[in-house]
């Protein structure tokens, strides 16, 4: 049975610009054939386990596979009965090779579908704060290739018409030919004073925009050391950037921030960082795994209704404890009349997501304040269950027992060093390509230093070190790290807010 090929536009880079249809097809794909300008993180997000990834990226002078080889690959995979997604950066039919691929599929009798993508011709100017049309400036715009098919021999670009025609010109893949473009426009009548913008890696966190005029832009590009990929915009609308820029003036624009949390937890912090303009660099240094034995937790679950308080000190604890509760044939009714406490808002929300009301959250999200708050509520003589990590501090248990409570602390998960190689991270740190390192727990601090090895302190001496709270900061200090930021509010939003403030200062 013959498969089917989907020619899908991935958009220009920002993960949020993939269409809903594109995401659906990536989830169904057996094989994804993707190019250089398609954000590879889309594959991590959408692809199911076992789906094959084939990179066929092309730079101006380097091709992983020639186009006829890509065409042949699509045909072969479809004839093998597979669902194939050909993932193009931008839109497959806007100066992509989607049309050629579609014709090859027609010739081979392969069914196909085209899923348009957001083209960089519109997205790049928009993310730079440059509308391609504006009533006060122009009534039309043109999209032109900056890199014609070399096999044509003679240019088919009507420079005389372009120079005096559409109000705004957008050139794709044209940076290598910038001088030719500028010379032809000026020679054919565009004033040398015409504004021009070069937008590099548009919609990505590393986006950079260079503004000048036709007269000086070539020199500016050389000084700024701009390289492809880039979109070129010519016209008076470029002047609106000063008022309308929004993507690259966010507080953390251009900053690369290391996220060291476990892979399951990293997404929340990474998304908060992206909203502020940062590029999260995910390098998990720990993993959350079940306890070596469930006996201790199962005994606690079996007598759950006998506890007066159940105190959760992490969202992980909630998730793993309640999951175990359900897997042993119980449900939330097993909590009986026990009151629930959470160390902070994220832990409290995890409980609410499981239809469990929270009776106490301290004003400061550390174990000391949990203990003080519960003592104030009167836990003397009460039975307290404390589901926690294997490496959790004993301060909460000790303080509650001092006040007369009977505390059972049970291990419901373990934190272990991640099995990932940190050599790539070490290289990025050595090159100064990490601006901020986030530490969300003492375990992440210890595992990061241990994972980087002998040169860890030197590698971590340049970036800002940002800790979620004083306990983590103390651990980092004991390890020899210079701590620059400690979040006043010990939450992920609080950590990001503290980083924003530090960068601003």
Q: Outline where DSSP puts E strands in 104-193.
A: 112-115, 141-145, 168-172
Q: Outline where DSSP puts E strands in 260-417.
A: 279-282, 286-289, 309-312, 339-342, 383-389, 406-417
Q: Annotated active-site positions, please?
A: 35, 58, 173
> What is the C-alpha to C-alpha distance for residues 297 and 31, in angstroms, rounded to an integer?
43
Which residue(s) pair with 311 in the sheet? 341
> What is the C-alpha to C-alpha distance for residues 321 and 326, in angstroms, rounded to an integer?
9
Q: Which helix (H) or strand (E) holds 9?
A: strand 4-9
Torsion of CA 104, 107, 113, 119, to 10 degrees: 30
Q: Which helix (H) or strand (E) holds 470?
A: helix 470-478
> What is the C-alpha to C-alpha distance for residues 112 and 118, in angstroms, rounded to an integer?
20
pTM for the structure as a whole: 0.79
Domains and CATH numbers, the chain: 4-118 (3.40.1010.10), 122-244 (3.30.950.10), 256-285+418-504 (3.40.50.10090), 289-416 (3.40.50.10090)
**Using an 8 Å Cβ cutoff, are 112 and 85 in contact?**
no
- Nearest CA to 413 out of 297, 261, 284, 260 is that of 297
Cis peptide, bond prior to residue 229, ω within 30 of zero: yes
Per-residue pLDDT of the chain (505 residues; tens, 9 = 90+): 889 999 999 999 999 999 999 999 999 999 999 999 999 989 999 999 999 999 998 765 555 789 999 999 999 999 999 999 999 999 999 999 999 999 999 999 999 999 999 999 999 999 999 999 999 899 899 999 987 765 655 678 899 999 988 889 999 999 999 999 999 999 999 999 999 999 999 999 889 999 999 999 999 999 999 999 999 999 999 999 999 999 999 999 989 999 998 777 778 899 999 999 999 998 889 888 899 999 999 999 999 999 999 999 989 899 999 999 999 999 889 999 999 999 999 899 999 999 999 999 998 888 888 889 999 999 899 999 999 988 888 888 999 999 999 999 999 988 888 887 899 999 999 999 999 999 999 999 999 999 999 999 999 999 999 999 999 999 999 999 999 999 999 889 999 999 999 998 7
- CB burial of residue 150 (10 Å; 0-12, 13-18, 19+): exposed
Which residue(s) pair with 224 in the sheet? none
Structure-token pair, residue 81: 């009965």
**Cα atoms found within 13 Å of the Cα of residue 501, Cβ hemisphere only:** 12
| Phi, psi (rounded to 5 degrees) for 287 | -125, 145
């Amino acid at each position: 049975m013959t498969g089917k090929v989907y020619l899908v536009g991935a958009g220009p880079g920002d993960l949020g610009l993939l269409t809903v249809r594109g995401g659906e097809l990536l989830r169904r794909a057996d094989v994804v054939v993707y190019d250089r300008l398609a954000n590879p993180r889309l594959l991590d997000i959408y692809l199911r386990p076992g789906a094959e990834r084939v990179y066929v990226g092309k730079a101006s002078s380097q091709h992983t596979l020639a186009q006829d080889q890509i065409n042949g690959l699509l045909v072969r995979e479809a004839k093998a009965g597979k669902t194939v997604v050909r993932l193009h950066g931008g839109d497959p039919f806007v100066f992509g090779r989607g049309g050629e691929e579609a014709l090859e599929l027609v010739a081979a009798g392969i069914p196909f579908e085209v899923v348009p993508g957001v083209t960089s011709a519109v997205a790049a100017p928009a993310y730079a704060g440059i509308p391609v049309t504006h009533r006060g400036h122009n009534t039309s715009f043109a999209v032109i290739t900056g890199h014609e098919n070399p096999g044509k021999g003679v240019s088919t670009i009507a420079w005389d018409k372009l120079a005096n025609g559409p109000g705004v010109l957008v050139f794709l893949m044209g940076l290598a030919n910038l001088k030719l473009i500028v010379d032809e426009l000026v020679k054919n009548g565009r004033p040398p004073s015409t504004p021009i913008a070069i937008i590099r890696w548009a919609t990505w966190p590393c986006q950079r925009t260079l503004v000048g005029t036709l007269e000086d832009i070539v020199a500016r590009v050389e000084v700024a050391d701009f390289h492809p990929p880039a979109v070129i915009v010519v016209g008076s609308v470029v002047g609106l950037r000063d008022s309308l820029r929004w993507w690259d003036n966010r507080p953390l624009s251009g900053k690369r921030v290391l996220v060291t949390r476990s892979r399951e937890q990293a997404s929340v912090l990474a998304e908060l960082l992206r909203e502020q303009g940062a590029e999260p660099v995910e390098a998990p240094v720990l993993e959350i795994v079940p306890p070596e034995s469930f006996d201790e937790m199962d005994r606690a679950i079996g007598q759950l209704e006998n506890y007066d308080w159940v105190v959760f000190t992490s969202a992980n604890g909630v998730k793993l404890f309640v999951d175990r509760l359900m897997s042993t044939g119980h449900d939330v009714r097993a909590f009986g009349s026990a009151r629930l406490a959470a160390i902070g808002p994220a832990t409290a929300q995890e409980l609410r997501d499981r239809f469990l009301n929270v009776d106490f959250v301290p004003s400061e999200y550390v174990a000391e304040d949990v203990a003080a708050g519960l003592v104030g509520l009167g836990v003397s003589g009460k039975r307290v269950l404390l589901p926690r990590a294997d490496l959790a501090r004993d301060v909460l248990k000790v303080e509650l027992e001092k006040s007369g409570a009977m505390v059972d602390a049970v291990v419901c998960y373990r934190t272990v060093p991640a099995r990932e190689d940190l050599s790539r991270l070490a290289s990025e740190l050595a090159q100064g390509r990490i601006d901020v390192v986030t530490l969300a727990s003492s375990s992440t601090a210890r595992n990061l230093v241990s994972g980087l090895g002998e040169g860890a302190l030197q590698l971590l001496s340049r970036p800002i070190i940002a800790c979620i709270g004083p306990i983590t900061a103390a651990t980092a200090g004991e390890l020899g790290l210079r701590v620059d930021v400690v979040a006043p509010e010990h939450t992920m939003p609080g950590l990001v807010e503290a980083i924003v403030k530090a960068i601003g200062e």
